[in-house]
Amino acid sequence: MQPQAQFLQRLLLRSKLTVEEQRAILSLQGTVQRVQAHRDIVSPGECVESACLVSRGLVARYDQMLNGRRQLTSFYIAGDACDLHSVVAPKVNWSITAICDATVLRVPHEQLRQLCLRHPHIALAFWRDGTVDASIFAKWIANVGAKQAKARIAHLFCEIGLRSEAAGLGSRTNFEFMATQSQVADATGLTPVHVNRVIQELRAGEPLSFRGGRVLIKNWETLLAVGEFSADYLMLSASPDRLPGVGGMDSGMSFASVPANQV
């Protein structure tokens, strides 16, 4: 599937868009960029001029401390835009890196701007998307700030599982997660050594296995409980949303899904 279609699919999870709006998104032009594992896509201080749509692989945003310690603040899987907010705030002060070999589509801001100004509902969909991001950030604060190691790690796996499923990349109990234990440590604010021990506990206590970039959750309910996980913050369940138009209803508009090849 082409990256634009992946991205559209993701937007449609939460936003209702007309056929015309969908076409506009599908017809975005960008340059495909392959990124090696551990290479940074964006670095602090940059003023970026394009946004990145992840089309393959795993990408993460992180902050680096002076002592070298790094803290991942979010993961982005295929279909996610790791950078969309850069349209309204192009100056970044964090890094985005490829966790494993990845492919991204770089879409110039110029085009996204046009989209936003021509199609207000697309701007709102982008904003909504950013809101989900923020909601995940907030949950991570709670995760890292107020939970024990085992719960943090369990929570992370639950999140990635559900997001992968929603993105059509697997099921919540069996999905690819190309991160090392060390990267999980960076995401959960723990050390690799301790992550290792906890993952062994989780393996022993049945709920999951994590090996070679694949997560297999044997007992979803247990893992939910261990991670104190509640899915609402991902905003996946609600039906896609759209603000009622100014003049009244959206009568006469079509919201059918546009097949990806129809561009």
Under the rule (CB under 8 A), what is the footprint of its own copies? 14, 44, 61, 63, 65-66, 69-71, 73-74, 85, 87-89, 91, 93-94, 113-114, 116-118, 120, 123-124, 126-128, 130-135, 137-142, 144-147, 188-189, 228, 230, 232-233, 235, 238, 241, 243-246
**Whether 42 contacts 72, CB under 8 Å:** no
Which residue type sits at 80? D
Specify whether the CB–CB gap between 216 and 203 falls below 8 A. no
- Contact call for residues 153 and 195 (beta carbons, < 8 A): yes
In our burial notation (b when 16+ CB lie closer than 10 A, e otherwise), range 149-183 reads: bbbbbbbbbbbbbbbbbbbebbebbebbbbbebeb
Residue 159 near which of its own copies, DNA, none (CB within 5-8 Å, type-dependent): none
Q: Which residues contact 239 (CB under 8 A, 6 or more apart)?
A: none
Residue placing its CB nearer to its own copies in the complex, 32 or 243: 243
181 binds, among DNA, its own copies, none (CB under 5 to 8 A by kind): DNA
Which token pair is 8? 């559209």
List of E strands, the chain: 31-35, 40-42, 50-56, 59-64, 70-76, 95-98, 102-108, 170-171, 174-176, 208-211, 214-217
Strand pairing class (102-108; 50-56): antiparallel
Contacting DNA within 80-139 (CB under 7 A): none
Q: Nearer Cβ to its own copies, position 6 or 74?
A: 74
Q: Which of 182, 254, 257, 262 binds DNA (CB under 7 A)?
A: 182
Rounded Cα distance between 202 and 209, Å, is: 8
3 state DSSP class of 34: strand
For the CB of residue 120, give the shortest distance to its own copies in the complex, in Å.
5
User: Applying CB under 7 A, which part among 6-14, 77-85, 165-173, 197-205 lies near DNA?
Assistant: 197-205
Given the complex with DNA, which of 170 and 192 has the nearer CB atom?
192
Tokens of 93: 């002060």
Which among 1-9, 119-127, 188-196, 216-224 is the span making contact with DNA, rule CB under 7 A? 188-196
Distances (CA, A) of 16 to 144, 158, 240, 244, 246: 33, 26, 5, 11, 16
Q: Which does 259 bind (CB under 5 to 8 A by kind): its own copies, DNA, none?
A: none
- Range in contact with DNA (rule: CB under 7 A) among 51-59, 102-110, 195-203, 229-237: 195-203
148 binds DNA (CB under 7 A): yes
Binder of residue 85, out of DNA, its own copies, none (CB less than 5 to 8 A by kind): its own copies
Q: Which listed residue (108, 130, 192, 240) binds DNA by CB under 7 A? A: 192
Residue 116 contact, options its own copies, DNA, none, Cβ 5-8 Å cut-off depending on partner type: its own copies
Residues lying near DNA in the complex (CB under 7 A) are found at 148-150, 180-182, 189-194, 196-200
